[in-house]
Amino acid sequence: MRYRTIGNTAVSAVGLGAMPLSIEHRPDERQAIATLHAAMDAGVTLIDTADSYHWHAGEAGHNEFLVARALARYGRDTSHVLVATKGGRGRPGDGSWTVTATPAHLKHAAEASRKRLGVEAIGLYQLHKPDPAVPWAESVGALRELLDAGTIRAAGISNVTTGQIRQAHAILGDGLVSVQNQYSPAVRDSEPELRLSTQLGLAFLPWSPLGGISRSSLDGPSGPTSASTAFHRIAAEHGASPQQIALAWLLTRSPSVIPVPGASRPASIQSSARAVEIELSEEQQAQLEDALPLSG
């Protein structure tokens, strides 16, 4: 495994997005725990969760409880594993997502997450999404209070603009360590946020990092865009999957990038973890760039 940093903490260059283990069509608990254990077996030391990663109404924190149980049952030292959780979103149980980022809600949510994870302080707590009904400075101010209180050790922000990153950085200083936005071969609207995160020394955690890489491309060139074909061709050159090439490509974008691909099976996260071993040549990187759709 190779490593990158979030704040002062070294973590695996590829993390695990645990959301698929708790939302719609989730696996049974045995498979979910096995997936989390397989991630750690593969050297993954960053697990991404949130209090809103659940399926039905009334089961907020399902994913956090699951991660905590997996760590407790692992049977080996897990002190080096960074669990990053998020607050500020909800799921009523009808498939929709809500946003609530008032200071009172965030402080209550962080404390509830801390208890579910069974830790003295949350290693990384991220504001899940800006709330249009709440001034951004007030939401970020709640993170400042959580840092000062020792409820969280580091703070992050998600689904944000460059302006929101700058304002959060001004309020949180070194307490701000990460930005988590959607970023993938198909969705690169957050290119400015990635550049700014790199300039400020913030980790950039792409969510949904495999967007644009069709599952069927594992068996042959396919998919709606030329990117699928290019990723498949270079995957064949490396004896890898297009998904692994996508992760390897993301790692070339900036030393700040730490993808967090989701997984619901042990084999999936084991495959993702092996992507750190792939070295893309400058020519291959150029071929992938040429095949990608223009960023927004």
Per-residue pLDDT reduced to its tens digit, 137-154: 999 999 999 999 999 999
Q: What is the pLDDT of residues 276-289, one digit of tens each?
A: 999 999 999 999 98
Provide the angle, in degrees to the nearest 10, between the axes of the packed helices 266-273 and 242-253: 50
With beta carbons less than 8 A apart as the criterion, state whether 252 and 287 touch: no
Evaluated on CA atoms 214, 219, 224, 227, the torsion sign reads positive
Beta bridge partners of 124: 84
- Distance linking the first and last C-alpha atoms of the chain: 32
DSSP string, 51-91: TT--SSTT-TTHHHHHHHHHHHTS-S--TTPEEEEEESEE-
Q: Which of 176, 181, 167 is nearest to 146 (CA)?
A: 176
Catalytic residue among 3, 53, 74, 183, which? 53
Between vectors from CA 1 to CA 206 and to CA 36, what angle results, nearest 5°? 65
CA distances, 144 to each of 171, 174, 218 (Å): 7, 11, 45
Q: Is 183 a catalytic residue?
A: no
pTM beyond 0.85, yes or no: yes
So what's the pLDDT on residue 295?
61
With beta carbons less than 8 A apart as the criterion, state whether 167 and 137 touch: yes
One digit per residue, the tens of pLDDT, for the chain of length 296 reads: 999 999 999 999 999 999 999 999 999 999 999 999 999 999 999 999 999 999 999 999 999 999 999 999 999 999 999 999 999 999 999 999 999 999 999 999 999 999 999 999 999 999 999 999 999 999 999 999 999 999 999 999 999 999 999 999 999 999 999 999 999 998 999 999 999 999 999 999 999 999 877 543 333 444 444 445 788 899 999 999 999 999 999 999 999 999 999 999 999 999 999 999 999 999 999 999 888 876 64
Which residues fall within 8 angstroms of residue 7, CB to CB, at 6 or more apart? 124, 154, 174, 177, 178, 203
Q: Which of 234, 239, 245 is nearest to 184 (CA)?
A: 245
DSSP string, 126-140: EE-S--TTS-HHHHH
The C-alpha atoms of residue 87 and residue 78 are separated, in whole angstroms, by 23
